[in-house]
Structure 1
Amino acid sequence: MGELQVQEIEAIDDYDSSGIAWPWVAIAGACLLLVALLQIEGAALSCLILVASFLLSRYHPYSQETAALKASIVLSREDIEDTLRKYEDFLYKNDTESIADRTLHRPALADENCTDPDISSFHFLASTSRRFVPRLNDRLSRNLSIQQLESLLKLTDVRALELKEAWLQARQSAQRLGKNYQAS
C-alpha cells in the first residue's frame, strides 16, 4: 500500500509529458511556413514566435487555487508529521507518563519486530511515510499544474488518514497485548 503511494508521487512528475508535443509541432509548422513565405522577415518573426512560445510555456501564474491546494497539501503533510512525532514521543520522551506507556502499557508498540498485524502495519506505514515527506516537499517546491496539485493532495490526504488510523489501531493492539508482551 505505501510503496504504491511512493510510486504514485513519482508519477506526478510525468503527468504533463503526454499532451505537450502537439502545440510545439504546430508552432514549428507555422514558423516554417512563415520562413518559406517571407524568408528573412519570416525567419525574424519565427524567432520571436519561438522565444515568446517558450517563455509562455514556462510561465505558470500563481493563482489562488494553486495557493489553496498547496496549503491543503501542507496541512496533510503536517498531519503525517504529527502522527510520526507522536510515535517518536512514545519511543523517546522521558517524562513518567511516556515511560510508563512504552514499558508498562504498550511495550509491543516499541518493538519493530512485533508480529501483530496492526502493529507491523503501522511500522510499515511509518517507515514509508518518513520517506514520503521529503519527496512531497521536493514536489511542492516545483511548479506544478492544478491537476498535479490535486493528485498530490489526494495522495497526501490518503497517506495521512491511513497513518493516523494505523497509529490508533496499533496503540489499541499494543494495549490489548499488555505489559506481559514477549517479543517472539
Structure 2
Amino acid sequence: MQWRPSGLTARQRTIFGVIAIMVAVFVVLSSLRLTGLLICLIILPLALFMLYSRPDASEQKTLRSSISLSADDIEDVAEEFEHFAHSPEAEAIADRTLHRPALLDPECQDPAVEKFHYQLSTAKRFLRRLEARLASPSMETNELEQLLTVTDQRSFELKESWLEARRAALALGPKYDPNSRGDY
C-alpha cells in the first residue's frame, strides 16, 4: 500500500476497517464466548454496514455539485462573450462596433484583451475535460476538493479577465484598427 500525504485512500480505509472489525470480533469471542457470539451477531452487521455505506458519499455529491456550479460560471462568461460577438441585438452590435471592437480581435496587442482570449480558450478546453473527470466514479474526496479549487480559481480569473478586457477594449475605443498592430 502506498501512503499519500493527504491520508488513506478509500480502499485502504476499507481494508483497515475490516481488519479492525475482525480483531474486535476475535477479542470479544475469545473473552465472552457464547455471550460474545450473540453480541458479535448483533454488532457485526451494523459495523459492516457503516464501513461500506461510504460516509463521504454525500460530501462527494456536494463537491460535484459545487464543481458544476463553478463550471456554470465559466460557461456564463463564455456565453456573455458569444452574445457580445454574435448577437443580432442592436445594443450588442453597437457595443462590438462602436465601443469595443478590439475585444473581437483575438490577436489584439492589448495585454488585457490578449489575456482574456487566452483564458477563454483554456477555459473551454478545461470544461471539455471536466465532464469526463466528474463522470469517473473512482475519484476520491480530496481529488474532488482539488478539482473544485481549480475550477473556482479558473472561474474567478476568467470573470476578472473578462471585465478587464472589456475596460481595455473600451479604452481603445472605436478607432481601434486591427491592421495597425501596436500603433493604437
TM-score bracket relative to the smaller structure:
0.5 to 0.7
- Partner in structure 2 of residue 146 of structure 1: 141
Specify every segment of 5 or more residues in structure 1 that has no aligned partner in the other structure, as ranges.
1-14, 27-58
Q: Does 1:97 align with 2:91?
A: yes
Q: How many residues align?
A: 136
Q: CA deviation at 1:62?
A: 6.7
Higher helix share: 1
Runs (4 or more) in structure 1 with deviation over 4 Å come to 59-62
Q: Does 1:123 align with 2:117?
A: yes
Of 84, 105, 129, the match for 1:111: 105
Whole-angstrom CA distance in 1 between matches of 2:54 and 2:116:
39
One-letter amino acid matched to 1:90: F
Q: TM-score of the superposition, structure 1-length normalised?
A: 0.68
Q: TM-score of the superposition, structure 2-length normalised?
A: 0.68
Specify every segment of 5 or more residues in structure 2 that has no aligned partner in the other structure, as ranges.
16-52
Q: Does 1:68 align with 2:62?
A: yes
Higher relative contact order (CA 8 A, sep 6+): 1
Render the CA deviation track for 1:14-48: whole Å, top value 9, x for unaligned: x9xxx77xx6xx9xxxxxxxxxxxxxxxxxxxxxx
One-letter amino acid matched to 1:171: R
CA RMSD, 1 decimal? 2.6
Whole-angstrom CA distance in 1 between matches of 2:92 and 2:54:
48
Matches within 5 A, 1:4-15: none
Query: Considering only CA atoms, is the larger Rg found in Structure 1 or Structure 2?
Result: 2
Q: Does 1:179 align with 2:174?
A: yes
